[in-house]
Structure formats: C-alpha cells, structure tokens
Structure 1
Amino acid sequence: MSSDPWGRVDETGTVYVRTADGEKVVGSWQAGSPEEALAYFERKYEGLVVEIGLLEKRVKTTDLSAKDAQTAIDHLREQVDAHHAVGDLDALRARLDKLVSLVEKRREERKVQRAKQSDEARAAKEALVAEAEELAQSDQWRSAGERLRSLVDTWKGLPRLDRKSDDELWHRFSHARSAFSKRRKQHFAQLDAQREEARRTKERLVAEAEALSNSTDWGPTAARYRDLMSEWKAAGRAQREHEDDLWNRFRGAQDVFFAARSSVFAERDAEQAENLKLKEELAEEAEKLLPVTDLKAARAAFRSVNERWEAIGHVPRDARPKVEGRMHAVERALQEAEEAEWRRTNPEARARAEGLTGQLQAAVDKLKGQIEQARAQGNNAKADKLERELEGRQALLDQALKGLHEFGG
C-alpha cells in the first residue's frame, strides 16, 4: 500500500484522492507499482494545474469572451469533479470559482463598457445626422460635399447600434446626403444652362465686335463697343473651355479698332496743334488793328486775316473758345467803330452822340469792374477775355469821344 498527502493506493490497486468531502476513488491501477500509480495521477493533476493557470492568464490578459471563458471553466470543472487526478482538487475548485467570479465581473464591466460605447456611438451618429441635415441646405457645394464625404468615413468607423436605431439614423443621414446631391445637381444643371446661354450671347457679341473692328466711324463705333462691353459683363460667364477664347476674340477686335483710332487721332491732334499755332498768330495780327484809327484800312486788313483764318482747319476743342474769342473781340470792335462812324456822319446821330458816349463809358467802367472781380477770384482766363473785350470797347469809346468832339466842332 502506498500514499501521499493527497492520495493513496490500497492493496487491490484502487487509487483514492483526499477531498474536503472525504476520499474519492480516482481509478484502478494494475500495470505497475503503487508509486507509479500515484505518480501517474499526480501528473494528471499537474496537467489540470497548468490548464487552469493558462485559462486564468487568458481571462486576465486577453479579450477572451465571457461565453468562451465559461465554457473553458465548465470543461475544466468537469475534469476536476471527475476525480481522475491526485492533488489538492479543492484548491482547483476554489481557483475555478474565483475565475467564474472574475469572468462575471469582466462580463459586467464589458456590458457597462458596451452600453457606454453604444451611448457614445448613438450621440456621435446623431451629431453626424444633425450636421448632415444642416449641410443638405448649404450652397457651398465644394466644401459641403467634401464634408459630407468625411462624415461618411466617420460613420463607418463608429460601432453599430441596435438594428432599429442604426437603420433609422442611417436613413436620415442618407436622406440628407441625397437631398444635397439633388440640389447640387439641379444647381449645376441650371448653371450649365446659364453658361450655355452666356456662350451664345457672347458669340453674338464677338461676331459684332469683329465686324466693327475695321470701322472708321470713330465716335459711334467707340460708343457701340462700350455698349457691347456692358452686354458682355451682363451676360455672365460661359463654360470655362469657351470663356477665354471668346474673351480673347472680343478683346482682340476692340484692340484693332482702338489702335487704328488712336493712330488717326494722333495724326489729327498733331495737325490741330499746328492749326492752333497758325490761328494764334492771326489773332495776334488782328489785335494789332486796335485801336482803330483808319476804319477802311482796318476793315480791309481784318478781311485779309479772316480769309486766311477760314482756310485753316480745326484746332483742339479745348483751345477753340479762347482763340476764337480773340478774333470775335476784334470783329466786335470793328463793328462798333463802323457804328460810331455812321452815327458821326448821320445828322440824327448828333443828338444821341452824347448819350452814346455815356453808355460806352458805363460799359467800359463795368468791364473794368468785372475784370477786377475775376482777378480777385483767380479766374485769369475770364479776366484775359474781358480785357480783350475792354480793348475793343475802349477803342470804341475813344472814337465816340472823338466823334463827340467833332460834333462839338
């Protein structure tokens, strides 16, 4: 008979194991000595110790599911309860009981974690749905479209909820994306139609611009080009592949016209500048006729100057009033001298000569006052013009005084 602290073998070869509930038959051993029998069943015990140790490690360090862990525990418990090993089986049962408690604790922890994750996932998906529904109303087609695609990737990375909740949220999310895509499609279809209309309008404008490019009707054509530009801007943009080509043709036609006009205007400006120089010389020659001392000679000389004046072409528009005003002032002085001569030789004029002299003197005084006022206001151009007119009036006044003297003689 052989024994150890946890088991024994009797004289019949029956192997027993000691437990808290008393001895339990392990099995029968007839193949060798009792020591060999105990050693064999002790090795089976050590095997159970190793398996339980490995299971404890898996439960503590891996994500082994509670179901699989419980199955493994039940399998080991069956082996322990079968009493086919010699060793401290009660200790193994205690370890298995502790492992059951640990698995149950882990099950509860994971249940709480899954509930938390589910709540977080629900909140995240509801936030995604709310943002998607807001984006569905956006007109920022590029940025909103990119953001919606990003939301889909975020959605795919979230855990699934229960089927009903997940399907309801996905339906809202998908509906928001579809609504945005539909609006965007309608927008770009409308935009394409507008761009096609703009292309047709701009092709018409280009055709007219090109037809006008060789026109020499400078004023009306330049005005029409301005109108065409306004119509161009109002037409909106054509498709990208057409817009640049149409613009280059439109702008090119204008450039041809305005380059030709600039060339002609440059020649005209040079000619008019030369004309102005000639007319200023004639105006100076005419002004030397004042004051009038010999009316007949002055009139003949002025006719000569005026004939040469008329033979000269246009002068620059901004210079025209000044140079023509100088000639008009001389002409008025000659007319007034003729009127004074007529009054002097007209018997009826004798009675009016004195009154006329007074009127002329008043006019001269008035002009002097106006000249002073213009100078004070810094309007030298007006003052110069009035002074030329004063010269004519003064000459007329001098002749009137001379005529009055003759009347008095």
Structure 2
Amino acid sequence: MENNDLLEEAKKFGFVRDNQVWLKAFMDYPERQVGEVKEVEDESLQYFAHRFSQFREKVEGLISKINESENKGSFLMKVLHLKEQIGKYDALGDFEALHKNLTNAENEIKAAISRNRDKNLSTKIAMITEAEDLRESIDWKPTAERLKELRQNWIKTGPVEKALNDEIEERFRTAVEHFFNRKKEFFEDKHAMLNRTLDKYKALIEQSEALKNSEDFEGTTKKLKELQNQWKEVGGDLPRKMSNELWSKFRAAHNYFFERLKNRITETKVESKDKFMEENLNKKKQLVVEAEALLKLQNMQEATTKAKELQAAWKKVGPAKGAESDYVWERFMIACDKVFEMSSLEHYMRKKPLPAEKNTLADQTHARINALKDFIKYDKQEIEVLEGNLGKLSPIPNNETFRTMLQGKIRNFNRKITTKTELIDFLKQRLNHEAPPAKTEAPKTENASQNAASASE
C-alpha cells in the first residue's frame, strides 16, 4: 500500500491529539492512544497504518490456514488470541472488520469442534460397548490384545463435550480395568496353584525316595501304591518339561524299590510263597462270608457302605492262587453285586411307592420281584442288541477291540441277570418265611379279593 493510501487509511480510523496518536472508538472499544508523534504527524499516522497492515496480514494468513486445514479445532486458541490483541494492538485500521472475520472463523471452528465431538462421542460409545462386552471374557490373550488396542484408539480419539467426558472416561476405564483385574487374579491364582501342585509332587518324591531302601517290603509296597494314587490325584497343569522331570524322579524311586522287591520275591522259598498265598485266600474267604451276610441287613444303605468297605479290604489282602481263589473271587463279586442290585432296587421302589391299601410286606415283596423281572427283561433286550451288533462284525483285525468290548458287555449283562434271578429267589424265600397263616373265618370283601389277586401276581 502506498504512503498516501496508508495516510488516508490512518486518518479514517485515527487522529492526532496533543502530539499523540489515537485510534477511534469502534464496536464496544473506546478510543485509545496507540502511540506518539515522533517528528511529523502524517509519518506517525502512516507508521501505525503500516502496523495495522502487518497485523491484518497475520489475521488473513491464519484464516487461510484454517480454511485449508481439516483439523480446524487446533486453530481456535490462535483465533482467540488475535481477537484479544484487537483491543491492545497499537495500530490504525479497520479493526472492526478484522474482529468480524476472526469471529466468523471462531464460530466456524467451534461448529467443526462440535461436529467432531459428536463423532468422537459416537466412536467412544462404540468402544465402551465393546469393552463392556469383553469385561467378563476368559479368552485371556486375544481379549487383552483387543482391549489394549481399544485403549490406544481411545487415546487417539479426540475429546467430547466436557459435561460427558468424565462419565464416558469412567465407564471405559472401569470396563477395561475390570477385565485386567480378573486376568491378574486368574494368573495369580494359577501361579499359586502351580506352586501348590509343585510342592505336592516334590513331597511325594521325597516320601518315595525315603521308602525306596525299606526292608518292610509288604508295608512299603502298600505305601508306594498309595503314593502312586496320590500322584494321580494331584492333577494340576505344570509345564511339560517340569512335569516330565518330576515324574522321572518319582518313577525312579519306585522302580528302584520294586526291583528290590522282585529280587526278594525271587529269593523267597516256594513254601513261604505258598503260605503267603494260603493266608491271603483265607482272608478272602472271610470277606466272602461277611459279604454274603450283608443281604440280610434291613438298611441297604448301610449294607452298600459295608460292601464298598469289604471291596477296599479285598484289594489290600494281596494275591492268592489256584482254582479255589477264582471260585472265592466269583462268590465275593456275586455277593457284592447282590447288595448293589438290592440297593438300586430299594432306590427304585422309593420313587414308586405303593398305595396305602396295597402296602403290606407281601405287597412290597411282590412289587420288588416284579421290578426285578422287568429289569431282567430290559437286560435281555440289551443283550439281544449287543449280540446283534457282535454278529454283524466282520472278522478283520480292526474289529477285534470292538468285538472284545461287546463280549465284555454281554458277560456283564449275563452276570446282572444271574444276580437279579438269585435275588428273586431270595425274595420268594423271604416271602414264604414271612407270609402269615391263612384266615378262613371271615369272608373276603370285593376289595380284599382284589388285593389278594394283586399280591399273587
């Protein structure tokens, strides 16, 4: 702008008074002194008009950047700063026009910020919803990675309205922290569990190594077998390498002892062995007597408990040999089976109680006999199905495992049928023993005749 133009511009918006340069009042701004006349009034006016041109260029440059930028919100503070300078900047010019331009830019920026904040709110609500859906997940690794990704995206997403900011920040933080607290507690518990598991295995190894040189072969054998059972019950999820190392130490101690036991047995005379076997056989015979007596108990729950105790005692007796041993075992097994079958029968009868008018001891016994007959019928149907499947198997090696399994099931069902049949005989004998003598003095009513007919079925 030429000097004359600057002078005209300066006189339009300013004046000189008492050797001072003043800016005229505009908008809500009163007139104010912007400088002093150094030598010549016109030159001083031109100087302050030039200063205004520089300020205007700064404003126009900022507005141009705002128009070109996608992130307009970053310019808001600069616009506000320039608007604030309008009331302080020492220059002569159309500050009102600059104020209007800056106000328009401010409004445009605030509108863009509002739109972006609405968009940011929608984005953050979507992230909150996903985080809250994942907070109870137990798929730890992928969920943790996704929540970390959401947390980074949350940071990168711009702000929302201040009135909503604290609420949505708290919701997102709570959901994410809830998952990571659960994850932390889970792995702390898992680590503690692994340590407890490791301690249990080490204790079993120490006990095994302390027993491997024992001379009490019979007692130590039982103790080591118990330790083996305890080893199986420990469970846990140790790393494979650690688990293999612990098992190798445990097995080495047991192998060492049982190799010594093997050598000791080899050295033992046949007579001692026979005596040992005979004693075991006698013990098993006594267990058979006790098992066969259980069926006479009135409380079948008590009988079942004692049968299980006898089975546990049988396992501890030790081996016996000869055909008689097999016969004793067969008797013991059948006696226990009868107890368990009778217990199952009593459970079945409790679920199907007899009507009050048909609930005599004879009625109850007949009902149990009929139930056992029904059970036998079902067992025979199962056998027919199994035998049918067995007959369909082609004679190829791949079918041998399945063939053996079917044959075993058939044997088990046949044994069940034998047991139930013997129980029927047992109940019939008890019925005959408990039946009251016939009464002939009173004629039977119609209902009594029906009850007698039901009892005889």
TM-score (norm 1): 0.43
Higher-Rg structure is 1
TM-score (norm 2): 0.39
